[in-house]
């Protein structure tokens, strides 16, 4: 059986850690691509990771490269390239610079791996995945963004911490844009099958929801010199696994919604079935009045962000 070929674009903290998770899970052979100041950096990281395989007991071919030649014919491409958030910086502050970076990366993917499924991680996520779709021209099902898995993981972590229970027993869902306007859904949150609203008072639950919304900023403020990478990379690996193993995972991703939820052609976080075809189905939930209002607000913020990006790039 042929191993999947996984390319990770960007050998910084998120990219290198994504490669680490994917290799340790034996999801396929991995190409780590970057165009850094130090030419051999991605090769060094890939070799170092490969040399850990006899110790940790995984089999994967891992190579580093400074061009896309090695990545040709990839099954999955994870795009982590871009400048990271710094203290005092919002995801939106990254818009202009990262839009240009993602545009260049998407052109390379289009040429080298025309049949790949692309997972975009670069921020601001909802605009960057839209830009990847614009440049590659791939079917929308094969271009998606990693946000919901990470955001849900943060939400689940904080609930487990609050209740003193295993994170494995917390099941949750959230929707909307990646950032301040994300919409955690208490109506779809359970702990061991018990609705979270029966376990946590509404005011306290709202505080937890707000902490999930601010999860990325909290890490940035603590690190001072960078942004989160362990959890974002783990989220990427879960999505890669769902694709290469055709697991049909029902998880939240930034997916292209047209008629779905009445979005009208933008990427927003929604529950999807993720398998070998990419986004194989979008699940449309019946939202409460407040959840629908919050979701509409989040979609409006995404549309505004994409409009700003298009304006900066001279797109209509």
> Looking at the annotation, which residues are catalytic?
178
Q: What value, to the nearest 5°, has the Cα angle with vertex 261 and ends 257 and 267?
A: 30
Sequence-separated (6 or more) residues with CB below 8 Å from residue 281? 272, 273
Q: Are 272 and 255 in contact (CB under 8 A)?
A: yes
Closest to 254 in 3D by CA, of 162, 170, 148: 148
CA gap 194, 145 in Å, rounded? 30
3-state secondary structure 69-122: CCCCCCCEEEECCCCCCCCCCCHHHHHHHHHHHHHHHHHHHHHHCCCCEEEECC
CA gap 44, 50 in Å, rounded? 10
């Amino acid at each position: 059986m042929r191993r999947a070929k996984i390319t990770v674009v960007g050998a910084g903290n998120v990219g290198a850690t994504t490669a680490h998770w994917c290799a340790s899970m034996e999801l396929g052979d991995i190409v780590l691509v970057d165009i850094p100041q130090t030419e051999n950096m991605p090769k060094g990281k890939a070799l170092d990771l490969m040399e850990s395989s006899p110790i940790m007991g995984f089999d994967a071919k891992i190579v580093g490269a400074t061009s896309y030649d090695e990545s040709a014919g990839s099954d999955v491409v994870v795009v982590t390239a871009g400048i990271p958030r710094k203290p005092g910086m919002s995801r939106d502050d990254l818009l202009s610079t990262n839009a240009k970076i993602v545009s260049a990366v998407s052109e390379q993917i289009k040429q080298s791996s025309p049949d790949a499924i692309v997972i975009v991680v670069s921020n601001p996520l909802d605009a960057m995945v839209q830009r990847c779709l614009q440049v590659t021209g791939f079917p929308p099902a094969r271009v998606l963004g990693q946000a919901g898995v990470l955001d849900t993981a943060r939400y689940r972590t904080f609930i487990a911490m609050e209740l003193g229970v295993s994170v494995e027993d917390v099941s949750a869902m959230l929707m909307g844009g990646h950032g301040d306007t994300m919409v955690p859904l208490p109506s779809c949150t359970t702990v061991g099958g018990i609705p979270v609203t029966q376990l946590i008072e509404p005011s306290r639950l709202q505080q937890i929801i707000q902490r999930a919304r601010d999860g990325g900023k909290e890490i940035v403020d603590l690190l001072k010199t960078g942004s989160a990478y362990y959890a974002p990379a783990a989220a990427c690996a879960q999505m890669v696994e769902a694709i290469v193993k055709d697991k049909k995972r029902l998880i939240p991703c930034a997916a292209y919604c047209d008629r779905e939820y009445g979005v009208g052609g933008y990427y927003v976080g929604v529950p999807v079935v993720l398998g070998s075809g990419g986004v194989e189905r979008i699940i449309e939930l019946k939202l409460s009045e407040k959840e629908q209002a919050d979701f509409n607000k989040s979609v409006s913020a995404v549309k505004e962000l994409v409009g700003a990006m298009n304006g900066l790039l001279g797109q209509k």
